[in-house]
């Protein structure tokens, strides 16, 4: 498997590994690296991806300089290599929401994590990362996203998931492909929390959606989030 690196915004990199035997047309597992005074990684990948992801980080900055390890929620593809990165970067901290820390990460992480309140900002030096709780959207009680205020990049995790191996960045419709992925995997907790979270995120008017599975998006991000919210509103109604 090959791990690709693409810069999707100024100083923000996408690491993508395509796995062809997941789902009907394959699936990408993506991590995002914010190059700043205090570098941040969003998603670690599974333990098996640590060699590839750490090598990708090292092509931009030495891994031991990593300061923040973050992810949306507690699943192997998002945080399986968390402790391997903590070992490789002695000054790094895991940062997550209060619920995620209380229910899982306090026990799972080899070092005590940093608990973040909803809306709290970490200043990376040249970048400002805002933590936003999105419980049950798309799934898991501790789910959250990150918003980089300087570039407008929304690290939206499993929201807007797509199948296949598309380009790193696109401005073509993602709502249709995301609806197809929902029909294939049924990953989302179908309830009012999902459209509420999507509409709240749309209010940020992000410039880029950094998507965990599939292409990232640079079209009308607010419109895409609201259109996806409408899809789930319709499914809840029926």
Percent residues over pLDDT 90 in the chain: 97
Write out the two tokens for 129: 């990362």
Q: What pLDDT was estimated at residue 47? A: 98
Q: Which of 210, 208, 205, 197 is nearest to 222 (CA)?
A: 205
CB distance 184 to 163 below 8 Å: yes
Q: Which residues pair with 211 in a beta bridge?
A: 157
Task: Mark 139-171 as b/e (b = at least 16 C-beta within 10 Å).
Answer: bbbbbbbbbbebbebbbbbbbbbbbbbbebbbe
| Gap between the Cα atoms of 6 and 168, Å rounded | 7
Q: What pLDDT was estimated at residue 45? A: 98
Question: What mean pLDDT do residues 156-168 have?
Answer: 97
Q: Which of 146, 141, 133, 189 is nearest to 36 (CA)?
A: 146
Question: What mean pLDDT do residues 150-166 have?
Answer: 97
Assess whether pLDDT exceeds 90 at residue 6: yes
Residue 70: partners with Cβ closer than 8 Å, 6 or more residues away: 40, 41, 42, 43, 94, 95, 96, 129, 146
Write out the two tokens for 215: 């292409």
Question: What mean pLDDT do residues 48-67 have?
Answer: 98
Q: What pLDDT was estimated at residue 72? A: 98
- Residue 216 has phi, psi (to 5 degrees) of -80, 165
Question: Using 50, 70 and 90 to split pLDDT, how confident is the model at 238?
Answer: confident
Residue 212, judged by CB atoms within 10 A of its CB (0-12, 13-18, 19+), counts as: buried
| Gap between the Cα atoms of 141 and 99, Å rounded | 8
Give pLDDT tens digits for 179-197: 999 999 999 999 999 999 9
Q: What pLDDT was estimated at residue 196? A: 97
Assess whether pLDDT exceeds 90 at residue 1: no
pTM for this predicted structure: 0.97
Task: Tell me the CATH number for domain 3-237.
Answer: 3.60.15.10
Residue 171: partners with Cβ closer than 8 Å, 6 or more residues away: 217, 218, 219
Give pLDDT tens digits for 124-134: 998 999 999 99
CB distance 207 to 224 below 8 Å: no
Assess whether pLDDT exceeds 90 at residue 115: yes
The domain segmentation of the chain, as residue ranges, is: 3-237
């Amino acid at each position: 498997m090959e791990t690709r690196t693409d810069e999707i915004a100024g100083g923000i990199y996408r690491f993508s590994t395509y796995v062809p035997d997941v789902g009907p047309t394959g699936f990408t597992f993506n991590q995002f690296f914010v190059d700043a005074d205090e570098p941040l990684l969003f998603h670690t990948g599974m333990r098996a991806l640590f060699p590839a992801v750490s090598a990708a980080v090292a092509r931009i900055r030495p891994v031991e300089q990593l300061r923040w390890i973050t992810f949306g929620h507690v699943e192997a593809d998002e945080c399986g290599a968390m402790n391997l990165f903590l070992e490789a970067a002695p000054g790094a901290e895991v940062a997550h929401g209060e619920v995620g820390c209380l229910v899982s990460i306090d026990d799972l992480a080899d070092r005590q994590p940093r608990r973040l309140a909803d809306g709290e900002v970490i200043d990376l030096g040249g970048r400002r990362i805002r933590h936003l709780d999105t419980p049950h959207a798309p799934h898991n009680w501790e789910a959250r996203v990150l918003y980089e205020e300087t570039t407008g990049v929304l690290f939206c995790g499993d929201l807007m998931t797509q199948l296949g191996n598309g380009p790193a960045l696109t401005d073509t419709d993602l709502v249709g492909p995301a609806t197809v992925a929902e029909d294939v995997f049924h990953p989302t907790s179908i309830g009012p929390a999902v459209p509420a979270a999507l509409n709240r995120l749309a209010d940020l008017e992000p410039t880029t959606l950094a998507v965990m599975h599939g292409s990232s998006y640079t079209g009308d991000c607010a419109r895409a989030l609201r259109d996806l919210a409408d899809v789930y509103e319709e499914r809840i109604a029926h």
